[in-house]
């Protein structure tokens, strides 16, 4: 079945002279939750195919073990216990939000971009996301986008004290081996030989071809230009780049942000449960 629209509505929005803005809103929460479930099953490639073709969400294949693992990633477990049944809420919501950020980028930039898959471990640290845009003949990296995705109840402090320092480290090419390594994998995915990938990956250290995208989840009470200015204030601390190289994105959800993520997770888990007893292609 071909769908009429993407699961997210993405649009440009104003912030200030230092950065550009994107606004994301779920327009089909059921399809969105299903794609998140597919990512949680380790099938980001299938999720990318679904978004490219605008087809109804369905995993490429399923097994009981994959379903069990995915449901653990989508379930809240605040206290440690054995066997594990979930993750602390902030980690579970962080995984879901990183998946949504990846989906938004896929919608905006399409198949022509090459993106690092979302972490499938709710406890993973490090590079949230990386996207490469190549020249038409794939002989050059035209833009590298570094993502910081934060699902926080205090987006202003999180941006100021976590995102900006993280971007500054990237901008100073600290921990650059991590980006180079991830970029090399993406270049090989693009069909570039190992030797050429190793050489082209050097472009990701070029700050003139670097974009930073900070993504935050906010309630509709913060869905205004003034609120976005407050959240993304001091973005110009990342110096010597243009306004267009600093992007602030907001996923706008109804009041009670954590409750919205919980509802989305429950729909995703119910979707996985619908495969119970099925093994193989779906």
* Predicted model pTM: 0.94
DSSP secondary structure letters along 55-123: BPP--SEE-HHHHHHHHHHTSB--S--SS---B-HHHHHHHHHHHHHHHHHHHHHGGGEEEPPPPSSTT
Query: What pLDDT, on a 0 to 100 scale, did the predictor assign at position 80?
Result: 84
| Peptide bond preceding 277 in cis form (omega within 30 of 0) | no
Q: What long-range pairs does 119-128 form, CB within 8 A, spacing at least 24? A: 119/95, 120/39, 120/40, 120/42, 120/73, 120/95, 121/73, 121/95, 122/73, 122/87, 122/91, 122/92, 122/94, 122/95, 123/87, 123/91, 126/178, 127/178, 127/179, 127/182, 128/98, 128/101
Each residue's pLDDT tens digit, 213-231: 999 999 999 999 999 999 9
Whole-number percent of the chain with pLDDT over 70 = 95
Decide if pLDDT at 125 tops 70. no
Each residue's pLDDT tens digit, 72-82: 999 999 888 88
Domain ranges (residues) in the chain: 8-281
Decide if pLDDT at 183 tops 70. yes
Mean predicted confidence (pLDDT) in 134-158:
95
Decide if pLDDT at 277 tops 70. no
């Amino acid at each position: 079945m071909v769908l009429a629209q993407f699961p997210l509505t993405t649009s440009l929005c104003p912030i200030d002279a230092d950065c550009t803005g994107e606004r994301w809103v779920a327009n089909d929460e059921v399809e969105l939750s299903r794609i998140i479930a597919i990512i949680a099953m380790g099938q980001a490639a299938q999720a990318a195919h679904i978004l490219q073709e605008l087809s109804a969400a369905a995993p490429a294949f399923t097994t009981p073990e994959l379903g069990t693992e995915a449901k653990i990633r989508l379930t809240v477990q605040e206290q440690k216990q054995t066997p594990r049944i979930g993750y602390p809420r902030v980690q579970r919501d962080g995984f879901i939000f990183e998946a949504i950020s990846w989906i938004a980028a896929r919608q905006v930039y399409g198949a022509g971009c090459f993106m690092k898959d979302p972490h499938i471990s709710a406890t993973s640290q490090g590079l949230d996301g990386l996207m490469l845009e190549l020249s038409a003949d794939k002989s050059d990296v035209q833009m590298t986008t570094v993502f910081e995705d934060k699902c926080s109840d205090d987006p202003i402090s999180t941006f100021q004290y976590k995102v900006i320092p993280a971007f500054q480290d990237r901008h100073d090419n600290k921990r650059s081996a991590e980006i180079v390594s991830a970029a090399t994998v993406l270049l090989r995915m693009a069909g570039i030989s190992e030797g050429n990938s190793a050489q082209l990956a050097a472009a990701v250290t070029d700050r003139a071809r670097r974009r930073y995208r900070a993504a935050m989840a906010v309630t509709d009470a913060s869905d205004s230009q003034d609120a976005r200015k407050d959240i993304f204030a001091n973005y110009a601390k990342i110096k010597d780049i243009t306004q267009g190289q600093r992007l602030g994105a907001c996923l706008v959800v109804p009041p009670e942000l954590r409750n919205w993520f919980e509802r989305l997770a429950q729909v995703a888990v119910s979707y996985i449960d619908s495969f119970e007893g099925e093994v193989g292609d779906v």
